[in-house]
Amino acid sequence: MTQPLSVAEGAYVRGRLDSLGHTFDLVMGDAQTPELRQLLTNNTGSGQFHFVAPSDTITFVVRNNSDVAFTPELEIERIVTPSEMTGETLSYTSPEIAKLAKELAQGGTTDAFWEARAKAGTPMIEPTKAEGQVLVTYLWRGATKNVRLWGGPASDHTWMTQLADSDVWYVTFEMPDTARMSYGMAPDVPQFEGGERENRVALLATLQADPLNKTPIYSDATDKWAQRSMLEGENAPIQPGMTRAENSADEVPKGTITPKILISETQPKRHVDYYRPAGFDPSRPDTVLLVMFDGPAYQTERAPVPAILDRLIATKQLPQVVVALIDPVDSDQRGVDLTCNPAFMDTLAHDWLPQIEAEFGKTFAPSQRVVSGSSYGGLASACMVHRHSDLFVNAVVLSGSFWWGPEGYDGQGMPYMSALWADYTPPNVRIWMSAGLYEAGRAPGLVSIFETTRHLRDVMQLKGVADVTYREYAGGHDYLVWRGALAEGLLHLFGTN
């Protein structure tokens, strides 16, 4: 069987041969070479083929390889002539970006697009067909060389794409409508000869808030480079203690912060801030002591722990809670102390804890003590409860850095913390843990907070930890997530309702 096809030379042709269970070959040729290209071999069903026409007259040869006479169905599905072809084919996840691309191709401008964005705010949110999902497009206007998104849903800082040669730079993600996260934008990031990390961290030179975002973080910051921006999905979970609506009055009584110094023979002097709720009564037997790592960070606009506790205590969702907010000194000291350092944990247990309790005029039962922190602080919290369960029964672990292991540790795939708890599980401890969906490894094969937290949860459950709770959030490594997670953890462990 042969069949001719008239088509412009250079045209793209897509077709299909349906053999309906019989074995056929399909060959394409032209006037010079009758059998130029074999498109399908031993095709027995519906086979699709593609080619670019070598001339304006094409001939198909269909060979029957079976003993049964049968005529297959040959269909040409699409022909694209050379005049209809474009350069690189671009697809746009965002319908609005696709619409703008079409308008620009027809000679339009971006003015109306940016006017709409200024009115609605950014990122741009669009619906999807998937339940509980939205399209989120981050946007920047007018960079010269590049733009990089800091934070957001990516596990690594994402390079944004310029739309044609316009002033629009964008990147689109499909995300849960429960997402909550901070982000920043770095336009025209310096790039130069050097290491990968050196070029990566160069974004800090231009990192700033999104100028069209309507929910800034650090709104009273001195300049735009000190600000960041927030994305909060319409179904983002309520964060206990972050809204005034939980109390009938606009304001609640505020607790007090008292700065002091912790002293030890084995550690340098350490700053600590003591939080007492309004009307603090040291004689109350239900009082909870919270020891919080990275204390200064949890007294900021993005994680205002004192204000959160003021509201939860005033509305009687929590009993009386006092807090020792311990200063990490600096990033270097933090990396030494909070990575399961036995000397640091023993100092906290034997030297600092008595000073902390003396400050509050009360000795707490282990069941009324809780330790908490995020990242390395989460790692340290899990280590502290494991090592000193006689003193601390409870932990709220926020995005613990369970990818970490001591130098020389070879667990053959078992994360260090999981191995520690698998080897010995203290009785009667209560652990509340969380991780973000976007706390995955930056590259394939890198161990992440997300997967190691899940692994540790499984180990704890298998080893019979009395109370282990795990929560996942549509967020990243972010204080905007941790502030709500901390409140949820405290409510789970000590809530009165």
The whole-number mean pLDDT for each consecutive block of 10 residues of the chain, a chain of 497 residues, reads 89 88 87 88 87 90 82 89 71 93 94 97 96 97 94 85 95 96 94 82 92 90 90 95 59 94 92 97 96 96 95 96 96 95 97 98 97 98 97 98 92 90 94 94 71 96 94 95 98 92
Question: What is the per-residue pLDDT for 195?
Answer: 83
Residue 103 exposed, middle or buried by CB count within 10 Å (0-12, 13-18, 19+):
middle
Answer positive or negative: Cα dihedral of 311, 317, 320, 322. negative
Pairing of strands 394-398, 256-262: unpaired
Contact 24, 65 (CB under 8 A): yes
Question: What is the per-residue pLDDT for 444?
Answer: 54
Question: What is the per-residue pLDDT for 248?
Answer: 43
Distance separating the N- and C-terminal Cα atoms of the chain = 81
Find the DSSP H helices in 219-300.
Answer: none
Query: What are 226's two structure tokens?
Result: 């000190």
Report how many helices (DSSP H) and strands (DSSP E) the chain contains, helices first.
Answer: 11, 26
Question: What is the per-residue pLDDT for 249?
Answer: 45
Stated as kind and residue range, the H or E segment containing 16 is strand 12-18
Question: What is the per-residue pLDDT for 247?
Answer: 39
Q: Is 89 helix (H, G, I), strand (E, B) or coil?
A: coil
- 383/340 Cα distance (integer angstroms): 6
